[in-house]
């Protein structure tokens, strides 16, 4: 009797899903594809979120130990505060019903209602991580001397106003808006300009306003290397960023279909070519391959391919990456010479190489070369620089004139971990300062960093 009863119970339980399925509408190919689009878009968004960790690792590794906790706080807070600002204001300005220049609806995500609500949530999740990427790029360029309070303020304005308004010009039609740049035929599939150049030119404005770090330049104006304290950590950050880029570029399809494979290939080839070309170029120029520049070469290739990842061939992706790898080295040295102190090369990797990638998307377009397409790309590049750099200068100058952008000399020398947070990232080590001028590189120079740790006394030099 017990066995019979158990069999009947199991049979009834097995019948429940069948009965429920029978009552529902039949599963169609369109329904399966729709569900796949949701899954792919959200997974891609989660990968892009991981890039926050990558940026934090790169910036921490290429700067000094006494500022590590401050950098972690900045990369944490620019996402948290930026997400709230983007939800309240930024998303509406970027994707709301447009007046021709910015959105005027969907603030506080009020448009996520009705039958389309589930997709609206997925779309918002994918877009907020892009916004966070643009905001966090600035952090590296102003590292080691910027007030934490100033950083929080400009993160709000970047996420709520500056990034979304330019984004509406290029991507507004993805939701309820329409942008004047995309109306011209502007090509920026995943954001070489919309995300990376916006962040890069804002970083340039911030670095100019806050000024160089103490000791960065000699009395005669020559740049002095300030090596990062942890190159392995910076390398880990680059690997995390590269991995996250597979959400950034292929994920921008927001569709789970076969097109993502080709985009993943062009993304990979450009990053690899950028890293190799930066390595070889520094090897020929300095006599040794520079680790920091090689890492930045990979990022330069990734930024460079982001605009055209869906409309260029694999061979073109390699060429784009090669040029980006050389360009990032030359750009870092250029900004050093004009006394713009960018500890991690953010302006060069994201601003300059983002502009190159946007131009390259027109030059190497698989649809065929057209001067009109290249012209539109140039218009987008120039518009981005004027908007992001111009508004950035105004924003940072206003902050500087009110609460001040920069910490005091004593706070900078002691480190922002202690001055801003009362923290010590390496409590079991003795933190001292060391100067090194024996290597011609300036961003993550390996020879300067090779003597940074003395194993006999457990000392971290910063």
Tell me the pLDDT tens digit for each residue of 158-194: 999 999 999 999 999 998 888 999 999 999 999 999 9
Euclidean distance between CA atoms 406 and 413, whole angstroms: 12
* pLDDT, averaged across the chain: 89
Question: pLDDT tens digit string along 70-106?
Answer: 999 999 999 999 999 999 999 999 999 988 899 999 9
Copy the structure tokens of residue 294: 């090689």
| Residue 454 vs residue 149, higher pLDDT | 149
pLDDT value, residue 25: 64
Mean pLDDT of 408-414: 96
* Cα first-last separation, the chain: 78
pLDDT value, residue 117: 82
In the chain, the percentage of residues whose pLDDT exceeds 70 is 87
Angle separating helix axes 231-248 and 291-306, nearest 10 degrees: 10
Architecture category of domain 35-413 in CATH: Orthogonal Bundle (1.10)
Q: Give how far Cα 415 sits from Cα of 67, 397, 425, 460, 461, Å.
A: 5, 23, 11, 13, 12
Mean pLDDT of 139-157: 97
pLDDT value, residue 177: 87
Q: Are 312 and 323 in contact (CB under 8 A)?
A: no
Q: Are 396 and 405 in contact (CB under 8 A)?
A: yes
Copy the structure tokens of residue 76: 């944490």
Q: Which residues contact 141 (CB under 8 A, 6 or more apart)?
A: 203, 204, 206, 207, 342, 343, 344, 346, 347
Q: What angle do CA 63, 68, 70 make, to 5 degrees?
A: 115
Q: Which position has the token pair 């049979």? A: 11
| Residue 19 vs residue 153, higher pLDDT | 153
Euclidean distance between CA atoms 40 and 249, whole angstroms: 12
Evaluated on CA atoms 109, 114, 115, 118, the torsion sign reads: positive
pLDDT value, residue 100: 81
pTM confidence score: 0.88
Look at residue 285 and tell me whether its pLDDT is greater than 80: yes
- State residue 453 phi and psi, 5-degree precision: -125, 130
Model confidence band, residue 16 (pLDDT cutoffs 50, 70, 90): very low
Look at residue 6 and tell me whether its pLDDT is greater than 50: no
Mean pLDDT of 260-289: 97
In the chain, the percentage of residues whose pLDDT exceeds 90 is 81
Residue 407 neighbours by CB distance under 10 Å: 22
What are the b/e assignments for 147-165, b being 16+ CB within 10 Å?
A: bbebbbbbbbbbbbbbbbb
Q: How many CA atoms does the CB half-sphere of 155 hold within 13 Å?
A: 25
Model confidence band, residue 5 (pLDDT cutoffs 50, 70, 90): very low
Question: pLDDT tens digit string along 426-448?
Answer: 988 876 655 444 434 444 443 33
pLDDT value, residue 461: 39
pLDDT value, residue 11: 46
Residues in the chain: 462
Look at residue 319 and tell me whether its pLDDT is greater than 70: yes
Q: Give how far Cα 250 sits from Cα of 44, 51, 274, 405, Å.
A: 8, 15, 19, 37
- CA-CA-CA-CA torsion for 192, 400, 73, 436, nearest 10 degrees? 80
Look at residue 17 and tell me whether its pLDDT is greater than 90: no
Look at residue 57 and tell me whether its pLDDT is greater than 50: yes
Mean pLDDT of 322-328: 98
């Amino acid at each position: 009797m017990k066995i019979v009863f158990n069999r009947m119970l199991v049979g009834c339980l097995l019948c429940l899903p069948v009965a429920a399925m029978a009552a529902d509408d039949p599963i169609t190919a369109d329904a399966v594809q729709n569900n796949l689009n949701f899954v792919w878009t959200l997974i891609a968004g989660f990968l892009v979120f991981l890039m926050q960790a990558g940026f934090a690792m790169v910036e921490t590794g290429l700067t000094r130990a006494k500022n590590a906790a401050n950098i972690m706080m900045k990369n944490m807070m620019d996402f948290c505060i930026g997400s709230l600002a983007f939800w309240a204001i930024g998303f509406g300005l970027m994707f709301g019903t447009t007046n021709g220049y910015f959105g005027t609806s969907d603030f506080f995500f009020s448009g996520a209602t009705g039958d389309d609500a589930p997709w609206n949530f997925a779309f918002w999740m994918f877009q907020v991580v892009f916004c966070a990427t643009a905001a966090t790029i600035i952090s590296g360029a102003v590292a080691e001397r910027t007030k934490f309070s100033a950083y929080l303020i400009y993160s709000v304005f970047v996420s709520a106003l500056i990034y979304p308004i330019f984004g509406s010009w290029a991507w507004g039609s993805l939701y309820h808006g329409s942008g004047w740049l995309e109306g011209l035929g502007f090509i920026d599939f995943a954001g070489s300009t919309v995300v990376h150049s916006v962040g890069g030119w804002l970083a340039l404005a911030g670095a100019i306003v806050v000024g160089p770090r103490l000791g960065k330049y000699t009395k005669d104006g020559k740049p002095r290397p300030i090596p990062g304290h942890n190159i392995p950590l910076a390398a880990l950050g680059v690997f995390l960023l590269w991995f996250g880029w597979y959400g950034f570029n292929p994920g921008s399809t927001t569709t789970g279909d076969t097109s993502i494979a080709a985009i993943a290939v062009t993304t990979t080839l450009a990053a690899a070519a950028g890293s190799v070309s930066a390595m070889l170029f520094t090897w020929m120029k300095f006599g040794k391959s520079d680790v920091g520049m090689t890492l930045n070469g990979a990022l330069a290739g990734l930024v460079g391919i982001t605009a055209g990842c869906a409309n260029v061939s694999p061979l073109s992706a390699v060429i784009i990456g090669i040029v980006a790898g050389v360009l990032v080295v030359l750009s870092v040295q250029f900004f050093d010479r004009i006394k713009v102190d960018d500890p991690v090369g953010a302006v060069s990797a994201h601003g300059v190489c983002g502009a190159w990638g946007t131009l390259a998307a027109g030059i190497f377009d698989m649809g065929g070369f057209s001067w009109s397409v290249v012209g539109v790309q140039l218009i987008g590049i120039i518009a981005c620089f004027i908007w992001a750099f111009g508004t950035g200068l105004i924003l940072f100058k206003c902050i500087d004139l009110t609460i001040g952008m920069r910490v005091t000399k004593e706070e900078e020398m002691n480190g922002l971990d202690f001055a801003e947070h009362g923290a010590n990232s390496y409590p079991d080590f003795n933190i001292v300062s060391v100067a090194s001028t024996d290597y011609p590189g300036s961003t993550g120079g390996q020879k300067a960093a090779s003597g940074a740790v003395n194993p006999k006394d457990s000392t971290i030099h910063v």
